[in-house]
Structure 1
């Protein structure tokens, strides 16, 4: 009964558009006050412990890393290099869009940052060269989902802390699905633009192509530092975030893209974003403690087992649930609320924790493109000054590609577990 009231109160507050952190915190505090065996001291301890974690320190650092990448001119360097390499191909800017997002993703770790950066640069460039606006915003939004799958994926850090998994292992888990997504988006781009023979860039001289590629190498250095350092064991993901920030800061200064005023705005934006994320994490830690105390995972497992004993059916049900939740909740909040309940049930079904993590993260990222919340939709509409219905129409063809990738990830677990196992992370 108590558990039902807690969940009901949370849903009611969310429907009333109360901020997620408050919606998590209020029912938890009421529970602590009413329950004679609990105390405010325990509540404070559980709340603080949610953010008092070395891995969680990587979140604000990687947010700063993405913000620095946004203002440092790195996006332009990557776009120029990708255009020089594949721009001559029919519909080449579609591949350039995906490739640039893939390169930028190694520094941003968040779909919102990728959509904001790519939307400002690539959508106007594509429209200017004759690409349909709907296609331009659609592929930009779909390719932004690459960022949360590969290092330094912020959703992976949040999931790892919530489920007690290795951050490095989750970083490696998302690389193969990200590559699969890249190939699928390129194939979709080819299909949509296959009849547009007019969409070709002029062939550049070899020397100019070489200079464009050479100019992008320093921008890719952050990816080498982060991934290379983690794989080699030189430093942890948290330490990699700090080293990556220093590298990008030096690079931005070298490009003369950062003055004191812009640096101040970048730091302020990082503090605001980090504060909101960590407030949700702290509130969810207390809410999770209440769920565990009320045996929510065990009750969920019993309920699901009464419905099915087949892991495949369980995964289908989870995907359907996440489609709904992802459309109405921001991914960080959804991970913090659902993972403490669903992850233990998945283990009972014998599902590999890394495989399950990949499913949850990717499914919730698709929610970023799904109204009514759909944060990427509104970011793209804002930065490109495109009506929201137009952005949604542009995204529709790419939903098929995204759902196809999700199904492959769901039913072929080796795609998510092979790399972290081969590298010794699992």
Structure 2
């Protein structure tokens, strides 16, 4: 009965536009006060502070800041020029440039919203100018940006690692192969649209242009090598790698001697706001987690599902459906912080690898970022393209289908995401 009251209170507050973090904290405070008395509320501020100061969480603002530096120092523009020189001659090449640059940008920022804002603000107007329909330009940018939470470093993976206790480094490694498969699938879908609707090609392939753009972009390629090489090689932790990303982005920016201070300021402020929202969610989740643990809700859920079935594949199917539905209504950070601590006991009892399951969760939430009503990445792309969200969603369905295919592949063929993890760590 108490759980139902908490749930109804939480839903009611969200429906009247109370921020999720505030609604979560108020619901938890109410539940703790009723269950344990008001005396139990004395330490809630200290509990929230302790939960939000995790060393691993420092990586989030660092990766976001590194992405802001990339966009303000001309790094993103040079990457676009290089990828355009490689695939621009293909029909619909600008859409493939969009996907290719998102793949690279994701390796630095770890944020799908940052990705779509950075790449979309440059490429969507250019695609519209070249004759691409605005809804298609928004759809391909939005779906490509979701690679940012599959390709390492991924902010949702960091949150999942903190919430579940899984290795963040291993989660990063597990995302490499699915991310590349997803990028190939998105490019194939974009090419299909280009052939069907006769989208334009860019300039013909030119070796001299490719060579020139490669030389100009060469310092940019040092970023993923330094960051991911350091993390995967065990030289630095994920959090230290985030700090390294900032330093490397600054050095590359200084090399180009080109910086847009206004753009950097705006991106940094936006990144700070995003980070504050996530940290508040984490802090609020500590209170709710404390109450749920005392009430033994995770254990009760695990027992209920295991009484229904002990088959790992059926359990994963149930959880996939659950997270896909959750993704319609919650941002990825909120979904991870709210749900993962409840699910972890079930995963452990069912014998499912927490790293494997972490990738399943992030893929589900990548799809959730493309499905209204709460579709932060899709809405950002629509805003940049000035396109109707429902028109964009129609174009986006095949791209979402690619992400669903990758999800099913990773769920039921765990060797695909876990191959590199087993090779490097086990």
TM-score, with length taken from structure 2: 0.94
Deviation at 1:345, TM superposition (A): 0.6
Deviations 1:15-45 (A, max 9, x none): 3321011111001112332333762244334
Is the counterpart of residue 234 in structure 1 residue 203 in structure 2?
no
Name 1:24's counterpart in structure 2: 24
Matches within 5 A, 1:306-321: 306-321=307-322
CA distance in 2, matches of 1:348, 1:145: 31
Q: Kindly tell me: are residues 131 and 112 of structure 1, through their superposed partners in 2, closer, same or farther at Cα, counting changes over 3 Å?
A: same
Is the counterpart of residue 361 in structure 1 residue 379 in structure 2?
no
Is the counterpart of residue 248 in structure 1 residue 249 in structure 2?
yes
Name 1:216's counterpart in structure 2: 217
User: Which 5+ residue runs of structure 2 have no aligned equivalent?
Assistant: none
Deviations 1:148-196 (A, max 9, x none): 1122210010000000111111111111110110111122122222345
Matches within 5 A, 1:83-94: 83-94=84-95
Is the counterpart of residue 52 in structure 1 residue 16 in structure 2?
no
In the alignment, is the contact (CA less than 8 A) between 1:25 and 1:283 conserved in 2? Answer: yes
Greater Cα shift, 40-49 or 217-226: 40-49
CA distance in 2, matches of 1:376, 1:345: 30
Deviation at 1:269, TM superposition (A): 2.5
Q: Kindly tell me: are residues 262 and 380 of structure 1, through their superposed partners in 2, closer, same or farther at Cα, counting changes over 3 Å?
A: closer
Matches within 5 A, 1:5-24: 5-24=5-24
Deviation at 1:248, TM superposition (A): 1.3
Matches within 5 A, 1:24-423: 24-36=24-36, 39-195=40-196, 199-258=200-259, 260-423=261-424
In the alignment, is the contact (CA less than 8 A) between 1:102 and 1:146 conserved in 2? Answer: yes
Deviations 1:358-389 (A, max 9, x none): 11111011111111111112111222222323
Deviation at 1:14, TM superposition (A): 2.3
CA RMSD across the alignment: 1.9
CA distance in 2, matches of 1:381, 1:36: 47
In the alignment, is the contact (CA less than 8 A) between 1:55 and 1:238 conserved in 2? Answer: yes
Deviation at 1:85, TM superposition (A): 0.8
TM-score, with length taken from structure 1: 0.94
Q: Kindly tell me: are residues 396 and 259 of structure 1, through their superposed partners in 2, closer, same or farther at Cα, counting changes over 3 Å?
A: closer
CA distance in 2, matches of 1:201, 1:163: 46
CA distance in 2, matches of 1:198, 1:29: 56
Deviations 1:251-304 (A, max 9, x none): 334434435544443433232221111011111122112111111111101221
Deviation at 1:115, TM superposition (A): 0.9
CA distance in 1, matches of 2:64, 2:47: 25
Secondary structure of the 2:289 match is helix
Q: Kindly tell me: are residues 195 and 28 of structure 1, through their superposed partners in 2, closer, same or farther at Cα, counting changes over 3 Å?
A: closer
Q: Kindly tell me: are residues 259 and 67 of structure 1, through their superposed partners in 2, closer, same or farther at Cα, counting changes over 3 Å?
A: closer
Q: Kindly tell me: are residues 262 and 130 of structure 1, through their superposed partners in 2, closer, same or farther at Cα, counting changes over 3 Å?
A: closer
In the alignment, is the contact (CA less than 8 A) between 2:110 and 2:152 conserved in 1? Answer: yes
Q: Kindly tell me: are residues 49 and 198 of structure 1, through their superposed partners in 2, closer, same or farther at Cα, counting changes over 3 Å?
A: closer
CA distance in 2, matches of 1:5, 1:165: 32
Deviation at 1:88, TM superposition (A): 1.2
Q: Kindly tell me: are residues 212 and 398 of structure 1, through their superposed partners in 2, closer, same or farther at Cα, counting changes over 3 Å?
A: same
Q: Kindly tell me: are residues 358 and 164 of structure 1, through their superposed partners in 2, closer, same or farther at Cα, counting changes over 3 Å?
A: same
Q: Kindly tell me: are residues 198 and 28 of structure 1, through their superposed partners in 2, closer, same or farther at Cα, counting changes over 3 Å?
A: closer
In the alignment, is the contact (CA less than 8 A) between 1:343 and 1:356 conserved in 2? Answer: no
Secondary structure of the 1:201 match is coil
Secondary structure of the 2:17 match is coil
User: Which 5+ residue runs of structure 1 have no aligned equivalent?
Assistant: none
Secondary structure of the 2:369 match is helix
Deviation at 1:224, TM superposition (A): 1.2
In the alignment, is the contact (CA less than 8 A) between 2:85 and 2:206 conserved in 1? Answer: no
CA distance in 2, matches of 1:422, 1:155: 23
CA distance in 2, matches of 1:261, 1:379: 20
Deviation at 1:237, TM superposition (A): 1.2
Secondary structure of the 2:64 match is helix
